[in-house]
Amino acid sequence: MPHTYYLIVLGMFSILACSNQPGSTPPPKDYFTEEEIDALDEQAVEPLKPGIKVQFEVYQFDTTFYASNPYEDKSKRVRRWSEVDEFFPVFRFSKEHLGIAIEIGDGGNYPFIDSIFWKFIKAEQNEVDNNPFTFKKSKSLEAALLKTDTTTSFYIYCSKGVTRSSITEVLYSYDDCYVLLSIGLTPIDTTQFGQPLIASKQLLELKYTTLPAFQKDLLIDDAYWVSRSDYQDETLPRQFAYNADYFLVYDDDFRWYYDKNSTCLFPTRRIFKLEEGNKVRMRWASGIDLFGIACD
């Protein structure tokens, strides 16, 4: 999870936006080039000192977030792993392995999945080596998760569009700092669909482009939280898709799994919900910790 997510779940704040007609949204451009997006990123606000009032231009980021995962109570009652949440983060862990990532243990939000995991996986003492992740396979764990679940595929929201991908296997990574489950997926054509980011059983109608006004205010919001975080990296958030209700965002350089010089420490996926008066609230967020906060 990124610095923004760790802090948002710990605190709540409300910020007033600059004047704009309530409920109005600036008409989006039909196409927003990578050069224009990069230009916005270069204008990202420097980390702000505590106490400085944040002023957005169009979208009012109210980062009041759920004190706990809204699906946590439900996940204690579900009978299938795919029912514990509406959305799951997708990551490429190697050239060969693409998967849905689920944190296990203290960092996770799904006691139902945790309970199954610990039935089959005994505590291991492994050298800390979670970047890149070292995955193992347990046939008994895989059977326990997949044979009780009728879900065999997901819609995968990518940076350029949506496609479907089928479940292939269950792997896990275990070291002294971090335990992670990966539900393997069939390959996705990144040339056509872009980077795979979010998995869901529901199909959302989305437009895959970046709204300049939202991207700019997203960077302002991110700078606010960076200034209050003990854990930071240089990866800026990118809004990549939206509809009348939701904005989809990722924080990722997509190089960390093969490039030791990558500065991305908390690759994350987030979904923001648009409310009345251009108020924006984070609806869902999930990611992975490449830094190893648990051992810090």
Average pLDDT over residues 127-145: 80
pLDDT exceeds cutoff 50 at 93? yes
Query: Which of the two residues, 278 and 33, has the higher pLDDT score?
Result: 278
Q: Determine the average pLDDT of the residues in 181-204.
A: 97
In this structure, are residues 13 and 228 in contact, taking their beta carbons and an 8 Å threshold?
A: no
Q: Which residue has the higher pLDDT, 226 or 58?
A: 58
Residue 70 has pLDDT above 80, yes or no: no
Q: What local confidence, expressed as pLDDT, does residue 223 receive?
A: 84
Tokens for 134?
A: 């070292």
pLDDT(1) > 70: no
Q: Residue 39: which pLDDT band, with cuts at 50, 70 and 90? A: low
Q: Is the pLDDT of residue 202 over 70?
A: yes
Coil vs helix vs strand at 219: helix
Instruction: Kindly indicate the confidence band of residue 112, based on its pLDDT and cuts at 50, 70 and 90.
Output: confident
Q: What is the pLDDT of residue 132?
A: 60
Residue showing tokens 């008994």:
140
What are the helix (H) ranges across the chain? 3-8, 34-42, 72-75, 111-120, 139-146, 190-193, 212-226
CA Rg value for the chain = 19
Asked if 81 and 116 count as a contact pair (C-beta separation under 8 A), the reply is yes
Residue 41, pLDDT > 70, answer no
pLDDT in tens, 164-178: 999 999 999 988 788
Structure confidence at residue 31 as a pLDDT band (50, 70, 90): very low
**Contacts for 27 with CB less than 8 Å, ≥ 6 apart:** none
Has residue 185 got a pLDDT over 80? yes
In angstroms, the CA 232 to CA 209 distance is 27
pLDDT value at position 46?
A: 52
Sheet with 268-275: list strands edge to edge.
60-61, 279-287, 268-275, 246-251, 238-242
pTM over 0.75: yes
